[in-house]
Structure formats: structure tokens, C-alpha cells
Structure 1
Amino acid sequence: MERLIAIAIMSAALASSAVADCGGETPCTLSAGSYHIARPDRDNGPIPAVMFLHGHGGSAVGVLNMREMVESFTARGYAVIAPNGARRPNGPRSWSFLPEFGGRDDFSFLPEVLNDAATRFDVDPERTVLAGFSSGAFMVNYLACKEPEAFAAYLPVSGGFWRPQPETCAGPVSLYQSYGWSDEVVPLEGRILGGGRFTQGDIWAGLELWRDTLGCDTHAPDRIWQDDTRQLRRWNCGEGHTLTFELFPGGHRVPSGWADRAITWIEAQIPATPDTE
């Protein structure tokens, strides 16, 4: 009997190690792609997480090399999940947020990554948000619009919708949009690409779509304020949903200190449960 118990314990340990046989520099592989994860130094219950999507031509490893951002999240108890965009034929990694792009179905792939991270690393799906930069931010907006309940909240940086933008979205979300005032790569007003084949959308029009989706009675913000060099607007529309717009000085980048501000906003929308404090 003791020998059988010992074998059972050993088998369970081996099974557990097989589940989490990746992380850090070792990618976790799914049938449709891969992701990397950086975990906080904690083991008390399900872990909240930020899934962060890289920009056009970026990679999951590149996201984990954004040390200030990643360390800010992990220091406050959040895992950082960094999926890899799929490679286009003869091109760089990116995200298929428009049907014209073809390739992998990222609307299915990203929830699959979340489910896998929940199984392998005890990530809490109810407290995982989707964030992204540039092309990753476009993907964040489109997934939030199409599948609003896929993640707990959405945080796009330097990206919105393309033209023609969706006429409606499936339901309200909590969304924190950050943008650089002098962004010339994805300007606030949008720009035309590919000889007229594609048009990056107007960020202000995208915010209008989100206000309509949230059921705002007026376009006027509930609050307008300045925090150091940043200008902010906030709309509280619909039960339990908030739209916040942050305009920061500078261009096409994730601004310094964004991660800490993002966590403060996240925790105002999704209060910590007792076993994750």
C-alpha cells in the first residue's frame, strides 16, 4: 500500500510538472501558436493577469523584454501573458483583426491562450485583461467589440479601429485607451496605407462608437482632468462599465509609468477577491 501511495504521489508530481513545462524564456505551444509568460512571486490562489499583444513585427520575447512594464505588473501580483502574433507569408508577425488579412483566427486563439494559462499556471480568467500596443491595440479593440466578455477589461495603447470601423459592437466593456499626442505612426486622426487599400481610423470616432456601445446619454465626459503632463477624460456609462481616455505627451510608444496607472485603473474596475490580495 505504501508503495502504491508513493507511486501515486510521484505520478501526480510528474503530471503537474508536465502541465507547466514552459514559461519565462520557454514558450508554451498550442496548435495555433505560442505564448510566453512572466509570473509574480506568489502562489496564494488564482493569479490575475495582463495579456499584452505586441505591435506589428514584434514578438512575445520582445514584450517580456519591456522590463519596466513587466516588472511593474509582476511586482503588484500580476502575471504577464505575451502571445506571439502569426507570421504573414513573407512578412513579420502581426494580428489578423481584419478579415482581409487572412491567416490565423486570432479571435479564437487569444481566448485559447487564456484557457491554457489558466490550466498551466492557475491564472484567473475572471481577472485577466487584454492589453496591446499599436497593431496589438487594434486587435484589442476589435476583440473587445466582437467578444466583449472574452476578457475582464481592455487596455489598447496607440491603436483603435480601421476604416470602415464597425457600426456597432456586441456589448459594453470597460476600456482604458492611451494615446500619444504626437503619434505619427498611427496618428489620432488616422492615415491611409497601402496605396489607399487600408485606412487607419480616427481615434475620436472610435471613442464615439464605444460611448454608443456603453449607452452614454451624452458625449460629454463625466470627468476631465490633468495628471502631471497627461490629459484624461472618463465616461461612466452603463452598469459596471467605464471608458477612460489618456492622452500623453510623445509619440508612438508605451509611455513610462503606464503599467502602474493601468493596474490602478484595473483594480478600480475589478476589485481583488480575498484570496488574491
Structure 2
Amino acid sequence: MGGMMQAWKTGAAAALLSAVWSGAAVAGCGSEAGACEVADGAYHIALPADANTPPPVVMFLHGYGGSGAQVMRNRALSEGLTARGYAVIAPEGRKRGGSGPQSWGFGPFTEGRDEGAFFASVLTDASGRFGTSTAQTVLAGFSAGAFMVHYLACSDPAAFAAYAPVSGAFWRPQPETCEGPVRLLQTHGWRDEVVPLEGRILGGGRWEQGDVFAGLEVWREANGCASHAPSKAWGEGDLLRRRWDCGPGAEIELVLFDGGHTVPKGWAGWMADWFEDEPAVR
């Protein structure tokens, strides 16, 4: 523990900026605050103000045409998580075709960079620079970022401790099977018209967003769930929630909120509650 603490103090002292952003230290790796370079891309990071042990990590992937910098400017998300003791890492996607909007390589749009290897290198780099955890990690994302979350969780569930996609699922044809087990928190707006719960057809029929509920069936099979029926279904304020507990490390939760294509303001808090509420201790 002493060696870990010393590594944390040394890395943080070398990299933290003097500015403090509402209880979160915004880390810098060069001329641009928060922009850190690795072999195949870049990421932004914000650290909790008080971190006496390696802070857990939420890596949040931006949506289509977005950026990691935009993720960090979403204060409800970034400050909500750092206030709970999490480091927030926001990687930069790749420009489609080299010059188009930034997005991620998933499903029908896989090209160029190995995204899983890129995310792994970001976790390793952040741990070395800032002392963040490489074990207590959540991969989350919005819209195109959420699509990416699903595909990585499907192919390599052990890459992160848990997965938390917001407003995104698989595309058609969706994977017939996924690896497991996996801890998955699926959040979606009831009134989402950009990525409807049932999916939609795009590009004159060339592409088709998948059905969230069909995707959840794939996840129940990956987790070896004995029943399609949820273990629990309940309401919580404006939220409708369903949960499947299917064994060690095999948990699925669906949260529907009364809204459209967005990250709901309360997401950071309930995601942290969910991640910290290990099924074994319920």
C-alpha cells in the first residue's frame, strides 16, 4: 500500500494543474489541459479531489460527432462522478474515413484502430501517470459510445469490471452470442427518437439500429440466466427499473427514464450506486 501511495503522490504531483474544478482536479499531460497522448490516440481525465487509494475509473465514450473534451464539459456527469470518488476518463474517437465526424469502430463500422487495445492502453497510461485503478473500472458511453460499450462487452467482458451504456445497443444483425459473464447497466430514454428502444433503419436500408430488448436477451443468455423474467422490477421516482441477477458477476439492469436522446442528469449518481452495490452483498 505504501508503494501504491507513493506512486500516486509522485504521478499526481507531476501532472496535476493548479486549477481545481468544483472538487475535481483536472489533470494535464501537455499543452492542452486534460489531453493525454498514447500510441493510438488521446484522452482527457479528471480526478477526485481526495484520493488516498487508487480511485476507481469511469471511462466514458462520447457520441457520434462528439469529443472527449465535450464529455468533460458535461458537469452533471464529470463532477457527479468525481464527487463520488471516481476518476473520469474521456477518450477521443477516430474521424470516420480520416476526415469525418469522430466516432468508434463497432459492429458494421469497424475500421482502423483496435478500440479494445486502445482503451486498455489508456487505462494503463492513466494508472502510470495518475495512480488510477486498473481493476475497479466501468466502461460507459452515450449513443455511438454506448454502441461501442455493447460490442466490447460482448467480445471481451473481462476488459472492464462493468459496463454502463446510455442510449445505445447492438446494430442488426446483432451478435448471435456474447461472451460472459458481464455486469451491465443499460440506461435509455422512453422518448428517444434518435436511437429508439426498438431501433430504426438508416442510410436507405444500409444500416439498422437494433432493438434494446432483443439485445438484453443476448445478454441474459451470455450470463446464463435461468429465466427471461427479471429478478426484480420497480419504480424509483421518474425511473422504471428491471434487474436480472444470474450468478457471480452476471448482472443486468435496465433503467428507463422519461426523456429523449440524452444522458439524464441523475445518471452519475445512480450508476455509482449500482456499481458499488455488488450483487453478492444484496
TM-score (norm. length: structure 1): 0.89
Contact 1:25 1:61 survives alignment (8 Å): no
What percent identity do the matched residue pairs reach? 56
Query: Structure 1 residue 195 and structure 2 residue 199: aligned?
Result: no
Secondary structure of the structure 1 residue equivalent to 2:168:
coil
Give the direction of change, closer, same or farther, for the CA distance of 1:45–1:193 in structure 2 (3 Å limit).
same
- Counterpart code for 1:50: V
Distance (Å, rounded) in 2 between the aligned partners of 1:110 and 1:64: 17
Secondary structure of the structure 1 residue equivalent to 2:234:
strand
Match of 2:29 among 22, 29, 32: 22
Q: Which moved more, 1:99-108 or 1:28-37?
A: 99-108
Q: Which residue of 2 aligns with 1:69?
A: 77
- The aligned runs of 1:100-139 (5 Å cut-off) are 100-139=109-148
Gaps of 5+ in 1: 1-12, 272-277
Deviation at 1:238, TM superposition (A): 2.0
Q: Which has the larger radius of gyration?
A: 1
Query: Structure 1 residue 244 and structure 2 residue 253: aligned?
Result: yes
Secondary structure of the structure 1 residue equivalent to 2:252:
strand
Deviation at 1:17, TM superposition (A): 2.8
Alpha-carbon RMSD across the aligned residues, in angstroms, is 2.2
Residue deviations 1:131-153 (CA, integer Å, cap 9, x gap): 00000000000000101000010
Deviation at 1:100, TM superposition (A): 4.2
Deviation at 1:196, TM superposition (A): 1.2
Aligned residues: 260
Residue deviations 1:165-211 (CA, integer Å, cap 9, x gap): 11111211000000000100001111111111111001010000001
TM-score (norm. length: structure 2): 0.87
Match of 1:83 among 91, 101, 104: 91
Contact 1:96 1:139 survives alignment (8 Å): yes
Give the direction of change, closer, same or farther, for the CA distance of 1:157–1:14 in structure 2 (3 Å limit).
closer
Distance (Å, rounded) in 2 between the aligned partners of 1:152 and 1:226: 26
- Counterpart code for 2:38: L
Distance (Å, rounded) in 2 between the aligned partners of 1:80 and 1:41: 12
Secondary structure of the structure 2 residue equivalent to 1:39:
strand
